[in-house]
Amino acid sequence: MKNQHRSILLLTLALLTISAYSTSLRAFADNDDENEQTIALKELPQVIQDALKGVEVEEVEKETKDGKTVYEVEIEADDVEIELTLSASGQLLGVEIEHEDDSDENGN
């Protein structure tokens, strides 16, 4: 009986810990999205605008990560979506590439 009480107590503590942890992660993720702001292409720093001349830009977002302003630029070409993450000085910080699902085009 004592072992059963102890097991229930440990299980309850574990569930409370997991619940608190997941809540704090959700709050952190929500805060990250709150600082994203969609902006116009002309609001990008000139160095980035110059680098993107002739490129069809779908969307531009400005956000703060670790206290620094970064820009996410979404480009789409030939059924490929490319998201560039750039610093205010134009340095490429990251690239995400997504291919359109071919099965959707074929109706499968």
Instruction: Report yes or no: 58 and 76 within 8 Å, Cβ to Cβ.
Output: yes
More confident residue, 21 or 65: 65
- Give the mean model confidence (pLDDT) for residues 72-101: 90
44 DSSP assignment: S
Structure tokens at 81: 């979506």
Domain boundaries, the chain: 1-34, 37-108
Q: What is the CATH number of domain 37-108?
A: 3.10.450.360
With a cut of 70, say whether residue 106 has pLDDT above it: no
With a cut of 90, say whether residue 104 has pLDDT above it: no
Q: Is 107 helix (H, G, I), strand (E, B) or coil?
A: coil
Structure tokens at 67: 């206290």
Side-chain half-sphere of 5: how many Cα atoms within 13 Å? 2
**What whole-number distance in Å separates Cα of residue 86 and Cα of residue 96?**
12
Q: What is the DSSP string of 47-86?
A: HHHHHTTT--EEEEEEEEETTEEEEEEEEEETTEEEEEEE
pLDDT at position 99? 84
Nearest to 63 by CA among 37, 84, 42: 37
- Give the mean model confidence (pLDDT) for residues 20-24: 46
More confident residue, 47 or 15: 47
Task: Give residue-wise pLDDT tens across range 24-83.
Answer: 444 444 455 568 899 999 999 999 999 998 888 999 999 998 889 999 999 988 888 999
pLDDT at position 103? 44
pLDDT at position 88? 94
